[in-house]
Amino acid sequence: MKLFFEQKKPGRERQKIEPVLIEIENNPTTVAQLIDETVRACVAKFNKKAINAPERDDLDEDNAHNVLSGQTIENLAETGRIAFGMVYNGKTEDPEAAVANALQCYEDGLFRLFLNGCPLNYINDKLDLADGDRITVVRLTLLSGRLW
């Protein structure tokens, strides 16, 4: 199943974020299963990058051709992060721990999910997903300042 994900942060002036295509194996029927499937897909993609990461000593030689153009830097700056898309330490992540963390974060209210603009409120809510649906992830952040 192919889903399009958007990640937004509240309070940003520019909300111009391109949706990212994520392919998941199964058709989730609840919010918990949706989080589980997408986290596993993202961890698998990350681990594949980490396994193919160059050694620290050869980093400059292997990526001398991988220079960012001015246009690429501007495009990345609009999303709020300029990066080369590399994993520098070659360390892989545990999918089980990542899923448990994501589910706990959702239950704690650290992020919200919207399916085609409609909020997904509870972790056990039923879903009716179709190919091409748009999932929006809004990261909720606490304001910094004085403590009570």
Q: What is the pLDDT of residue 107?
A: 93
Residues 99 and 71 in one domain: no
Question: What does the alpha-carbon distance between residue 146 and residue 54 come to, in Å, rounded to a whole number?
Answer: 44
List, edge to edge, every strand of the sheet that includes 111-115. 20-23, 2-8, 134-139, 111-115, 118-120
Domain that holds residue 82: 54-88
The verdict on 120 and 98 lying in the same domain is yes
Mean pLDDT for 122-142 is 88
CB 114 within 8 Å of CB 19? no
- Alpha carbon 80 to its chain centroid, in Å, reads 14
Residues 97 and 142 in one domain: yes
pLDDT tier for residue 105 given thresholds of 50, 70 and 90: very high
Average pLDDT in the chain: 79
> Can you give the pLDDT at residue 67?
65
CATH of the domain at 146: 3.10.20
110 in the same domain as 45: yes
Do 124 and 32 meet the contact criterion of CB atoms below 8 Å apart? yes
Number of domains in the chain: 2
Query: Do residues 61 and 48 share a domain?
Result: no
pLDDT over 70, % of the chain: 67
Average pLDDT over residues 130-143: 85
Q: What is the pLDDT of residue 19?
A: 83
Q: What is the mean pLDDT of residues 9-21?
A: 64
Binned at pLDDT 50, 70 and 90, residue 66 comes out as low
